[in-house]
Amino acid sequence: MATVEDLGMSAVINIISAFAFLLAFAVLRIQPINDRVYFPKWYAMGTPRSPERSRANIVANFVNTDVRTYLAFLGWMPDALKMSQAELIDHAGLDSAVYLRIYIVGLKIFLPLMFLALMVLVPINMSCRNLSFLSKDLVVSNIDKLSISNVIPHSEKFWAHIIMQYAFTFWTCYVLYNEYDNVEFMRMQFLASKHRRVDQFTVVVRNIPPAPGHTISETVDQFFQTNHPDHYIGHQAVRNANKFAKLVKQRERVQNWLDYAQLKFERRPDKRPTRKKGFLGLFGERVDSIDFYQQSLIELDKRIASEHQKIIKDGKAIMPVAFVTFDSRWGAAVCAQTQQTKNPTQWLTDWAPEPHDVYWKNLAIPFVYLSIRRLIISVSVFALVFFYMIPIAFVQSLANLEGLEKVFPFLRPLIELKVIKSFLQGFLPGLALKVFLYILPTVLMVMSKVEGYLSRSSLERRTAAKYYYFMLVNVFLGSIITGTAFEQLHSFLYQAPTQVPRTIGVSIPMKATFFITYIMVDGWASVASEILRLKPLVIYHLKNMFIVKTERDREKAMHPESIALPENLPKLQLYFLLGLVYAVVTPVILPFILVFFAFAFLVYRHQIINVYHQKYESAGAFWPHVHRRIIASLLISQLLLLGLLSTKKASNSTTVLIVLPVLTIWFHKYCKSRFEPAFRKYPLEEAMAKDKLERASEPNLNVKAYLSDAYLHPIFRSFKDDVEMGEVRKLNSPSQTSYINDHGDEP
Amino acid sequence: MATVEDLGMSAVINIISAFAFLLAFAVLRIQPINDRVYFPKWYAMGTPRSPERSRANIVANFVNTDVRTYLAFLGWMPDALKMSQAELIDHAGLDSAVYLRIYIVGLKIFLPLMFLALMVLVPINMSCRNLSFLSKDLVVSNIDKLSISNVIPHSEKFWAHIIMQYAFTFWTCYVLYNEYDNVEFMRMQFLASKHRRVDQFTVVVRNIPPAPGHTISETVDQFFQTNHPDHYIGHQAVRNANKFAKLVKQRERVQNWLDYAQLKFERRPDKRPTRKKGFLGLFGERVDSIDFYQQSLIELDKRIASEHQKIIKDGKAIMPVAFVTFDSRWGAAVCAQTQQTKNPTQWLTDWAPEPHDVYWKNLAIPFVYLSIRRLIISVSVFALVFFYMIPIAFVQSLANLEGLEKVFPFLRPLIELKVIKSFLQGFLPGLALKVFLYILPTVLMVMSKVEGYLSRSSLERRTAAKYYYFMLVNVFLGSIITGTAFEQLHSFLYQAPTQVPRTIGVSIPMKATFFITYIMVDGWASVASEILRLKPLVIYHLKNMFIVKTERDREKAMHPESIALPENLPKLQLYFLLGLVYAVVTPVILPFILVFFAFAFLVYRHQIINVYHQKYESAGAFWPHVHRRIIASLLISQLLLLGLLSTKKASNSTTVLIVLPVLTIWFHKYCKSRFEPAFRKYPLEEAMAKDKLERASEPNLNVKAYLSDAYLHPIFRSFKDDVEMGEVRKLNSPSQTSYINDHGDEP
């Protein structure tokens, strides 16, 4: 078990590395050459560079020579706070602003909890001497003397812990309720104040049944003209455009090479660039590059045009999915929320995701397969959650020093050094977890994609849910109860349901030091490294040196990313879980968590302003999940405390705790019925009010023209040839056509 | 443990009593005097008496003197089958027809199961000799030798049972799927073919927020004129009419006495009937009855009119609930299925129940209290389910002969008689349960009413759900595992989740004889007594003798009841549970269950044709519940078999069974998404088609007039004074007013 010295060592290491990261960031961010790495958001918005810096000479374009700016170390922190919430929503969207609210909720919940717990529980725990009796047999750290383990069994002092658990639960619920209310209000205001959006007029229809003798477009037109006669204006059929997308990508690549060759020729007009004709330009006859690429382009354009004709004429390319548009928000809201036909698996309507949010590839999955796919994925997730732990346990057993010495005996003299020993014990277990967790989100995202959700935002939410289960079982439970997942699953199945919280509850106080280390590694040092953006920095400069040929390439070398919600949400939820579970058991963990929330809030606020650029806008649709998982954490903390106290023989008092889970579940149900519909449906009153306002302010608005190609596959947007595009549009009108490719991503 | 002789004794008793009931029925039903008891449905429909019987003389009005009709014993059975399903739906409504489908499903599921099990499993079980080895220590009945208990542990023969369980599961799912499909089709066809119904145009709105300076009617009008401008035509506000309802009831009573007095006077015109003026006509001055009642009527009419004025003028009498009507089914379907405002707890819209189906009293419960009420009732149901068992266990321990002898030692000589012993052991345990279950539905119905559901049909479904939980824990589990509910709950909490199915699974084969007895008592004798209608028969004739004064009274003495769905559905579901659980374990139970399904089908078909008259029509809305509970039974049977086999040490083969519950749950999810929406929502396509058809066939239909007082409180319907009613209507138009009384029942 790690001692307080190990913990101190770990704290020093993590604080030093955090400061090193911050210092490096302070220096690097003010170098103009790194602007695209640290301020990509501003480039994406078309306002590159902060205005305050001048560009007097060429050197200043790459290195900052103004000494004063170096002195403002940590100057980014006040900058990050300067922007008001309203400006932030305007600047970065509601998703980002709501994401930051999670940190605020963390601070709001845990700040009063920390004061209460440190002032009430810690003195009570310290006043007891349970562990001093036991310590002859057991090596206990000083941290444990501040925890509930130090209270003597049968003690009346457990009442304090029970009362505190009640107080913490009520406070947490109070904060959660207010925040749900607040986020709901923000969402509604955002939707009401926003300018016209195409997705407010559009409904996605899945599983259109085939009508013999009619094309899908005719079927759709006929169905909606019959059943929504007053508001239906048209639809965009979706066509399978895999090959087409591939050709367009190829054309783009050739165009790039042509640009490069022309650039080269401009610089050295005396020598026309040449290349070999064959594979990768390595074999075959040497030809003039510019001519070759121009020739290729012409050829590709021909093939694209013929492929395009094929897609349009071939009825098989049309998928039984369509984006149906209405002349008013009211009409779309009605269609999205109602059942269309007797057979509820046909003509499935739902709000269309924002065009950027659509995950095109999944549009073509038939409804029958969806439920089978979800069954398979559920089983796989279960297997992944419980069997992935085997390698982690193996590595953790290595990180255990005795195990390490056994496997690599030659390391013994090194390991026995006191500094290294502390370092390894403080740092390695956390690190092993981190490494393993690195590839996981990608795997989980692929699984979510297989499940067939239509929008990127729901894919991310599903991935976050899977990741949360994983973290809960493998990081939280896996760290508390040692042993493989197999063994755990086995013991859960063969233990009484009342025994499980006892088994876990008893181990909880002993693992406090481990989780403190984990918080310092993952919550302090990692967050500091987040702001440094080491990986994008290195990659950008490498690309700049070797690959970038044109200005367009440079732009592509650093396109701004979204916040990684599938990873960040579950991680944040783990901190809530740790905080709530340990608030009563080992309150000294709370300051560490609070530091994390405050520091991460600053860092992410800065990043959201300067770095991240959300690909889509779901208007905070993930909040119900955040709320639900914090409630789940609360329930877990109550059950574990119940288990822990029941081993302390304070049985008459612990029965009082049984009321808490019931009340918490009821609170959750109430919140769900009160707030969740606002995140799933669009109320008719709002839709009607917005429609009326718009009709009054813009009486001549042509909604049909506005919506004409809103849901065109992005492949056609990036494809700049407007003459060709005009043809595409003309061919598809009055009902527009949209396209799927096999990759699902914008090229 | 009961032996085969006990079982035979019980069978003889039950078959004899069933035949006695049938014989009594055969004689009693053809007596004209009993017509109102055995054919109330025909009276309710306005076509009393079967046409074939003649009424030649006065005696024939009371006693059937036609000898030939006595010979046709059991003649009702073919009669019951004669009516086709389409006619039955027309005659008794879809609810009744769908209810009968449950018996058909039982037959469809268990007939092939029985043949398979008897031909495959019973020979296998018999070929083993496990129990012959054990029988030196244990007294086992011959029934057990046909059960799975007789198979030797570690035997390869368990593969047969596992394969059978797979076959049974797939067959059950297949039947369930087809039947769900069939019932959904019946429902949709029923809704489509039905004549115009007011509930198709009406939506109930709850929790209308108060608008300062406006009445609720104004608020409703304004809201719906804004948000549903094209289809809204008006609404009926709901007023609290407790006192009014009381007065109307009182008036009716006086009217009855007046009728009686006038009848008396007609018969003996020489003597005017008199009564005393005071309390109950027992004290005070003697006055002329006819004058007195006429005077009272005039007085009551005045009070009713003034109370009526008060209700109309007093704004506080208006509840924040309204029935909102639309000019088309499409408009109503849209309003019912969409969210109206930002705050999802306000302006809650849902389909209005049929006017007869409305449970008026619950309309006034505010939304905030609903979730608290539901929390309280959930906790109460839990307590009821687990603590009600204490008295049952006490009585059952009495029914245990040794216990009985101990408590009542003087009974010993009687009990020791062989015939009586067999009778008691075969009959008493089942009877004890029956008696305890008698008052339960009433209690559960009160609980459901507290939960605040708006329609009688949903109240009945909720009561059925509660009753099912009760039966599952107390009848099924309670009979298998002896001990109080307390002890059971305790052992569930302190046993491993894998241990519970083992504990129960092991006891299952031993309880087969008990359940066979139960089926014979509850499924054979009780069903036969159902057709005899002993209780209504006695009560009707008693009323006829002592209370009935006028023809109107006679009509009231036997008003036809609805089928008691809250009791019958869970009972039926218990038979499915027993059948599925024992199909593999003790297949000899299956013939008993099949006899029950076939016999009960005939009896209930007869009763539905001749006796029961449904108060409301929910178009088979209870089917999803039936389906869900049969699936739950299937899951229970799989888990228990898993537990049972794991004690038989056939562990390598039992793991194969784990796949079944996963597949079953998946099947349930699929069915839910495929069929359940049809029972909750009204598809727009259907609504639009029906609207169009109607507009074409009746272009001059005035929907507004048709709907004008559809949702008037029934209190005003029974109130015959049309002049007064005209005034009520006039006062409330254009937006109609409806009324609540405190009793919630039609007077």
- A270 vs B167, which has greater pLDDT? B167
Of B370, B249, B374, B236, the residue nearest B743 (C-alpha): B249
Instruction: Tell whether A337 is within 8 A of chain B (Cβ).
Output: yes
Q: Say what the pLDDT of residue A513 is.
A: 81
Q: Do A228 and B338 touch (CB under 8 A)?
A: no
The amino acid sitting at A660 is L
The beta-carbon neighbor of A338 closest among B184, B497, B684 is: B684
- Joined together, the tokens standing for residue A158 give 């457990």
Q: Say what the pLDDT of residue B111 is.
A: 93
Q: How far apart are CA A374 and CA A376, in angstroms?
A: 5
Q: Do A495 and B496 touch (CB under 8 A)?
A: yes
Instruction: Tell whether B340 is within 8 A of chain A (Cβ).
Output: yes
Instruction: Tell whether A489 is within 8 A of chain B (Cβ).
Output: no
Q: Say what the pLDDT of residue B596 is.
A: 92
pLDDT at B733 over 70: no
Q: Do B338 and A339 touch (CB under 8 A)?
A: no
Instruction: Tell whether A669 is within 8 A of chain B (Cβ).
Output: yes
pLDDT at B506 over 80: no
Contacts B688 to A, Cβ<8 Å: 226-227
C-alpha pair distances (Å), B246 with each of B242, B250, B258, B260, B303: 6, 6, 19, 22, 11
Of A545, A592, A598, the residue nearest A108 (C-alpha): A598
Of B530, B556, B524, the residue nearest B610 (C-alpha): B530
Q: Do B337 and A341 touch (CB under 8 A)?
A: no
The beta-carbon neighbor of B684 closest among A339, A662, A686 is: A339
Mean pLDDT in consecutive groups of 10 residues from the start of chain A, 747 residues: 71 84 80 77 68 49 62 70 82 88 93 89 77 52 72 78 90 94 88 77 86 83 86 82 78 80 76 72 75 86 83 74 87 86 82 83 75 87 77 61 65 70 66 71 87 86 90 80 62 70 76 84 82 80 70 70 84 91 88 92 88 83 91 91 79 74 90 84 82 80 76 62 44 43 39
Contacts A639 to B, Cβ<8 Å: none
Q: How far apart are CA A744 and CA A742, in angstroms?
A: 6
The beta-carbon neighbor of A685 closest among B227, B662, B681 is: B227
Instruction: Tell whether B721 is within 8 A of chain A (Cβ).
Output: no
Instruction: Tell whether B611 is within 8 A of chain A (Cβ).
Output: no
- pLDDT tens string B540-578: 877 777 666 666 667 776 777 778 888 888 889 999 999
Query: What is the total residue count of chain B?
Result: 747
Using the Cα atoms of residue B380, residue B383, residue B388 and residue B389 in order, give the sign of their dihedral.
positive
- pLDDT tens string B93-152: 888 899 999 999 999 999 999 998 888 888 888 777 666 555 544 445 566 777 777 777
Q: Do B683 and A495 touch (CB under 8 A)?
A: no
- Joined together, the tokens standing for residue A434 give 């981190």
Q: Say what the pLDDT of residue A650 is.
A: 63
Question: pLDDT category, B508, cuts 50, 70, 90?
Answer: confident
From B337, which residue of chain A is nearest by alpha-carbon distance?
A: A338
Of A308, A326, A320, the residue nearest A731 (C-alpha): A308
Q: Say what the pLDDT of residue A52 is.
A: 43
Q: Is A742 helix (H, G, I), strand (E, B) or coil?
A: coil
pLDDT at B161 over 60: yes
Instruction: Tell whether B371 is within 8 A of chain A (Cβ).
Output: yes
Average pLDDT of chain B, as a whole number: 78
Q: Say what the pLDDT of residue A393 is.
A: 62
**H helix or E strand, kind and range, residue B164:** helix B158-193
Instruction: Tell whether A371 is within 8 A of chain B (Cβ).
Output: yes
The answer to whether A322 touches A237, Cβ cutoff 8 Å, is: yes
The amino acid sitting at B605 is R
Q: Say what the pLDDT of residue A85 is.
A: 83
Q: Say what the pLDDT of residue A741 is.
A: 43
Q: Do B688 and A497 touch (CB under 8 A)?
A: no
What predicted TM-score, i.e. pTM, was given to this entire model? 0.77
What is the pLDDT averaged over residues B424-442?
Answer: 70
The amino acid sitting at A677 is P
Contacts B681 to A, Cβ<8 Å: 338-339
Q: Say what the pLDDT of residue A229 is.
A: 83
Contacts B678 to A, Cβ<8 Å: 342, 344
In which region does residue B633 sit, left (phi positive, over 0), alpha (psi from -120 to 50) or beta (all else)? alpha
From B677, which residue of chain A is nearest by alpha-carbon distance?
A: A344
- B432 vs B513, which has greater pLDDT? B513
Of A247, A260, A267, A249, the residue nearest A292 (C-alpha): A260
From A184, which residue of chain B is nearest by alpha-carbon distance?
A: B342
- Joined together, the tokens standing for residue B429 give 């345990």
**In B, residues 145-204, which contact A (CB 8 Å cutoff)?**
184, 188
Q: How far apart are CA A692 and CA A744, in angstroms?
A: 37
Percent of chain B with pLDDT over 70: 78
Instruction: Tell whether A685 is within 8 A of chain B (Cβ).
Output: yes
Q: Say what the pLDDT of residue B631 is.
A: 94
Q: How far apart are CA A398 and CA A425, in angstroms?
A: 11
Contacts B227 to A, Cβ<8 Å: 330, 684-685, 688
The beta-carbon neighbor of A683 closest among B340, B497, B673 is: B340
* Candidates A219, A684, A693, A695, partner chain B, best to mutate (most B CBs within 10 A): A684
- pLDDT tens string A593-627: 999 999 999 889 888 888 888 888 888 889 999 99
Instruction: Tell whether B681 is within 8 A of chain A (Cβ).
Output: yes
Distance between B451 CA and the closest CA of chain A, angstroms: 15
Q: Say what the pLDDT of residue B651 is.
A: 59
In the numeric block, the tokens 């902060």 are attached to A50
Q: Do B684 and A499 touch (CB under 8 A)?
A: no
Q: Say what the pLDDT of residue A695 is.
A: 81
Instruction: Tell whether B490 is within 8 A of chain A (Cβ).
Output: no
- pLDDT tens string B281-291: 667 777 788 88
The amino acid sitting at B584 is V
- pLDDT tens string A695-712: 888 777 777 777 777 787
Question: pLDDT category, B80, cuts 50, 70, 90?
Answer: confident
In the numeric block, the tokens 């029914």 are attached to B399
Instruction: Tell whether B338 is within 8 A of chain A (Cβ).
Output: yes
Beta bridge partners of B738: B238
Contacts B226 to A, Cβ<8 Å: 685, 688
Distance between A323 CA and the closest CA of chain B, angstroms: 18
Residue A491, CB half-sphere, CA atoms under 13 Å: how many? 16
C-alpha pair distances (Å), A504 with each of A165, A393, A511: 18, 17, 11
Q: How far apart are CA B478 and CA B493, in angstroms?
A: 16
Q: Do A337 and B338 touch (CB under 8 A)?
A: yes
For residue B95, what are the contacts with CB-CB under 8 A and spacing of at least 6? B563, B614, B616, B617, B618, B619, B620, B622
Q: Say what the pLDDT of residue B744 is.
A: 37
**In A, residues 208-227, which contact B (CB 8 Å cutoff)?**
223, 226-227
The amino acid sitting at B27 is V
C-alpha pair distances (Å), A217 with each of A222, A327, A735, B58: 8, 18, 7, 75
The beta-carbon neighbor of A677 closest among B344, B496, B499 is: B344
Q: How far apart are CA B646 and CA B639, in angstroms?
A: 11
